[in-house]
Amino acid sequence: MKTYIAIFALAALTVACGTNPGTRAATGAVIGGVAGAAIGNNVGDGDAGRGAAIGAIGGAVVGAATTPSTQAPNNRRERYDERSRRYYFYDPGTGRYFYENGQPYP
């Protein structure tokens, strides 16, 4: 059981290595499925295969559902101001323009 916990802990740390939210969701689903299968295999009513299958499905669903919720999509449209030689962006949430450091754009 300690081996499964160590493998799961190392696999969970690799989720942060992906830069694409789709990749992170897939990684989360795989890690959740493996962890669920390991837990379902060890816990249950004696049928290890059934417990592993249920655990894998549940873990994959939970892993895929929770992973992308931590990354908000970047809806900012950046532009470059020639006068100030600085980038600025439009924030759709506030309807205003801001420089990269958060100062309001004139």
Q: Indicate whether 64 and 97 sit together in one domain.
A: no
Q: Indicate whether 75 and 64 sit together in one domain.
A: no
Q: Indicate whether 76 and 49 sit together in one domain.
A: no
Q: Indicate whether 37 and 84 sit together in one domain.
A: no
**Cα-based distances in Å from 89 to 36, 71, 85, 100, 104:** 42, 19, 13, 7, 10
Q: Indicate whether 79 and 27 sit together in one domain.
A: no
Q: Is the pTM of this model over 0.85?
A: no
- CB-based contacts of 17: which residues, under 8 Å, 6+ apart? none
One-letter amino acid identity for 15? V
What CA–CA distance (Å, rounded) separates 42 from 48? 7
Domain that holds residue 32: 1-69
For 43-63, how does the pLDDT look when each residue is reduced to its tens digit (9 = 90+)?
666 676 777 777 778 777 777
Helices assigned H by DSSP within the chain: 2-13, 21-42, 48-66
What CA–CA distance (Å, rounded) separates 101 from 38? 46
Count of structural domains within the chain: 2
For 70-101, how does the pLDDT look when each residue is reduced to its tens digit (9 = 90+)?
455 555 677 888 888 888 888 877 888 888 88
The pair phi, psi for residue 67, each rounded to 5°, is: -65, -55
